[in-house]
Structure 1
């Protein structure tokens, strides 16, 4: 009888939806499963390997068995321990992916700085959500967020309503933008602006809310990012949702 039987899609216990039946799992079986997951790209940059406790529970083995499996992968040069962070896949150049993530985060900072300095994103302009920045530069949302937080500390960007980031240090303007976005969001939820309804123009909204037109423009950009409204060229901004869920 074989020491372990793994069934399902992909690479055994690390594939989504995989079924698993384990019997007398040895350290080599655990190492093989991790190796396949790494080769398939299921464990790579931005993700540490499962902890020793997780592997113990997953395979029903003692900690020593798990450690022998991890030591085997370390000896093979496939993974490396990053002090205080866990075990990560070693990059092809001998640098662990955990360190490579740091470089990606710095690259995003440099790229956004360049966009701001070149005027491609003007002062007060919408930089995007962390997810949008992540997609733009091919990194994880967490890496993008770290970059944006650093840029905010330098006064280069400001978060509005905890979702979209805008160029420049908006100060109290960020709070005003969030407040206007909140009022418009509530008006949509309450049916004041039903589905398909065209919103009042920026100038009208600015006068109604007692703020600058640019503040209204940022607030509308937040609602567009949330999918509540859309800007139809030549026709203004229209409502896409009748209610807003807090779920």
Structure 2
């Protein structure tokens, strides 16, 4: 793979293009930005150049990183403090926990695979794994090597 030759100041042009999308409303407050890889493909530059453009927008408080999600557009009125947003792995764990407590996922039932969670919630595999790990740590599910993850039954939670 040969290094790309990017003209000086390209990151500023990319930041301007993204800034325009935000101010024109193409990217609404709270909406996620495309991934670094997707932006790199769109603009034909390296991820380093994209990261530099995004850092510029972060310093202007137009976007902010959101763990488990990526970067999201900030509210232009500055009313968004980040405390109302929870990491995506927690949202997924909360959804699955609700399915377990509501009986949708009965004791002994198989949980969706990491791949299914990735597809359903549009998150990374690490985020899906973290959500499942959260449930396992809470004692709600158990992992069986080579088989998957299953809801623990109330009769014998140690298995």
The TM tier, using the shorter chain, reads: 0.5 to 0.7
Q: Which has the higher helix share?
A: 1
Q: Does 1:155 align with 2:104?
A: no
| Residues 116, 31 of structure 1: alpha-carbon distance in 2 compared, 3 angstrom cutoff | same
Partner of 2:109: 125
| Cα distance, 1:95 vs structure 2 | 5.4
Distance, in Å, in 2 between the alignment partners of 1:146 and 1:36 is: 34
Partner of 1:89: 71
TM-score, with normalisation over the residues of structure 1? Answer: 0.40
Which protein shows a greater Rg? Answer: 1
Query: How many residues are aligned here?
Result: 129
Q: Which has the higher contact order (CA 8 A, sep 6+)?
A: 2
Q: CA RMSD in A?
A: 4.1
| Gapped regions of structure 2 (runs ≥ 5) | 22-26, 28-32, 41-46
| Cα distance, 1:167 vs structure 2 | 0.7
Find the residue that maps to 1:165 and give its secondary structure.
strand
| Gapped regions of structure 1 (runs ≥ 5) | 1-18, 60-65, 174-247
- Of 16, 27, 33, the match for 2:14: 33
- Of 90, 94, 107, the match for 1:106: 90
Find the residue that maps to 2:112 and give its secondary structure.
strand
Aligned residues of 2:15 and 2:56 also touching (Cα < 8 A): no
Partner of 2:120: 136
| Residues 20, 121 of structure 1: alpha-carbon distance in 2 compared, 3 angstrom cutoff | same
Q: Does 1:76 align with 2:56?
A: no
